[in-house]
Structure 1
């Protein structure tokens, strides 16, 4: 059961884990000419570090929005690459969605604008880059 005193959901991946990145995943990079890309095929990476998923309690209508955690690994040329820990990434690695905190509409006494959900429009999911 999720803890309504915490905003965070522990990242299920750890440093050193082998993680399958499915085809179609949006990838962020520190490479100056290739900030965003979409994986054309599934690939397996080794995790360098992670950031937890959390539920936002920011003002301006965002209270309750799910901010996906990330998995980071060193890419070609020494540039860092990141993907979000989305439902698709979890499924590709045989994992289930975690229960999100705030299902009663509150976290730490904050009234949420929306009930946290992995559904479209309730997350900070990265969009695929536009072709130029």
Structure 2
């Protein structure tokens, strides 16, 4: 496993264990981190605050890595994510993270993209699309 993959696994493990195991060591001070549903954190201090604050409200149940792609100073990681908030709401989706690295393997930028897991073919029964009558999660 290469160094960048170890760093990504460490970041995911921090969420699974709800422990800061070195956020300052893996992110650049002026990192840009964008979640798939719009929040944007513009420095390591804010990423740490988000991590600590979020973990008082919920628990990451799964953040499974499916595969990595590397090119120059960038990595894409495909993953499956599931969490449960303290009030009982469960969220689960697939996603990817696009990561830009510094020369010394710190995360300079990270942008998440999400995809609903509950997929279906709206043309399965008809030439006209039959969409489910449910709230759509937009990422």
TM-score (norm 1): 0.29
More helix by share: 2
Relative CO higher for 1 or 2, CA cutoff 8 Å, sep ≥ 6?
A: 1
More strand by share: 2
